[in-house]
Structure formats: C-alpha cells, structure tokens
Amino acid sequence: MTDSVVPATDGPWDVGRRPVISYVPWTQLWDRFEHQVADLVRSSGAVAVGELGGGANPTMALAAEVGRPVDLTVLDISAAELERSPPGVDTLCVDLCAATPPVRERFDLVFSRMLCEHVSSGKAFHRNCHAALRPGGHAIHFFPAVTAMPFALNRVLPAPLSQGLLERTFPSRRSEGRHGKFPAQYYWCWGPTAPQLARYRSLGFQVLSYDVGIGHGYYQRIPFVRALEAIKERVVLRHPSPWLAAFAIVVLRRAPASPGRHNC
C-alpha cells in the first residue's frame, strides 16, 4: 500500500465553509468530469485512488491524464461486473453501503460516475467513502439529480417500463451490453440545497465545490419537447436554482491529519 502524500494543515477546519457553486449546461459537466478528476488528483497530490462502481468500465486513461503513475483500484459490489473489467486492473469487491465500513483509510481520493443514484443508502455510502479516505483525502462524485423529470420518473416507474424508455432514447444502453441500466433509488442525489449540504457535513465532510448541470439529453427523439427543454435550460441558467439541477459534480474533503500524525 502506498504512503499518503496528502499534506496535513495547521489551519482551522471548517466543515460549514461555503462551497463554490456553479451552474453550467449539462454537457459541460459530462465532458469535463474525467479532466476534473485528473486535475484534483494532481492538485491534491493523491496517489492511491479508488474508482467506485467502475465495474466493467474503469477509467483506464486516468494515469495518462494525470501525467504520472496512479495507484488505481476499482471497487464494485458486483463480482460479475469486476470480472468484465480489462485485464491487469486492481479490483476490490465490496459493498459500499455495508453497516460497517469495508475499507478504512486506504485512499487519497475516491471518485464515482453515475453510481450515487444506485446505492441503497446515501448516508451509508458517503459514510463509508469518508472512512475509505485517508485524512485530508478527497471524494468527487458525478450523479444525476432527482429534480430532473426523467430521473424523477425513473425513480417511480416499473423497471421494465423505464428500461424500455431508456433503450428507445439510447439504444447503446441495452441491458445485455456493457452500459446496461441498473436499478436507481436517487438517495442523496440533489443539487446544492441547504438540506443536501447538511447531509454531507453531518458525516464530517467539507463541501468544497458543487457544479450543477442544467438540462439533459433525454428528449432528443421528441422535437417539440426537446425545444421546450432547451428554452427551460436557457432560463434556468440565467436564473439558477439548486432545485432545478439535472446533474451535479460534488467535491468533498475529509479533515486533514493533525500536525505530526503520519498515515500509511
């Protein structure tokens, strides 16, 4: 296991610090997430990195994007998904919603993409992410927000109906493919509302930033509704509200070690 390189700090630790919040078209969030993860790895000095829910599709280009070696481990609850990951990838089959944290102080940084909506408990998942981080470590998550109509419907519709609607919109998301649909609960999948920020802080995280994506691509095959969604996107970007988020990227940080403490 690599030694932590995340520095300690002598400054005050303020869990309630005000996060940097931005509102952008949803495509910007989607396109820049891997770059944002790589930037955070570089800026934080992280070496031991955990990709949560990477399963069959881990982020293989991360080290190249960072520009230096990265000790990447892919964590997933499904052994079958991990078996489909590319050869040579370090994997760990764990339940990140377990009552007892399955991993403790192993990673400098953990990240997930389109996983948070599938977990069985938002509180347990983020608590276990906090436990998996070394002091001073970061977590960054990309997820859809339940306040967007397609995701609100996905939450309540029967699984066969929601699967059929998804496949009509995105044929590549067929259940037998590498990007099939998994059951979604959307626990803790909100924009930067006051209750949502309080949830993260209750676990000991600082919320460093919250990027909110406005709009989505689920109406591409319905021209009239697509046009209305485009108008709504322009209006919301001019008059943003956390309650109208469609996607989000949140960056969290665990408290750094006190001076003199060393982690391994």
Instruction: Check residues 159 and 217 and name the one with the higher pLDDT.
Output: 217
pLDDT band for 7, please (50, 70, 90 cuts): low
Residue 5 in contact with residue 48, Cβ under 8 Å? no
Query: Is the pLDDT at 173 greater than 50, yes or no?
Result: no
Query: Is the pLDDT at 67 greater than 90, yes or no?
Result: yes
Q: What is the CA angle 95-98-101, rounded to 5? A: 95
Query: Is the pLDDT at 159 greater than 70, yes or no?
Result: no
Contacts of 12 (CB under 8 A, 6+ apart): none
- Structural domains for the chain: 20-253 (3.40.50.150)
Sheet holding 71-76, edge to edge: 20-25, 206-214, 247-253, 133-144, 107-113, 48-52, 71-76, 90-93
Total-model pTM: 0.85
User: Each residue of 120-138: pLDDT tens digit?
Assistant: 999 999 999 999 999 999 9
Indicate the range of 73-87, 177-191, 193-207 predicted with least confidence.
177-191
User: Each residue of 191-232: pLDDT tens digit?
Assistant: 999 999 999 999 999 999 999 999 998 888 888 888 988 999
Determine what percent of the chain is predicted with pLDDT higher than 70.
83
Rounded to whole angstroms, the Cα distance separating 181 from 209 reads 28
Mean pLDDT computed over every residue of the chain: 87
- Report pLDDT for 16: 85
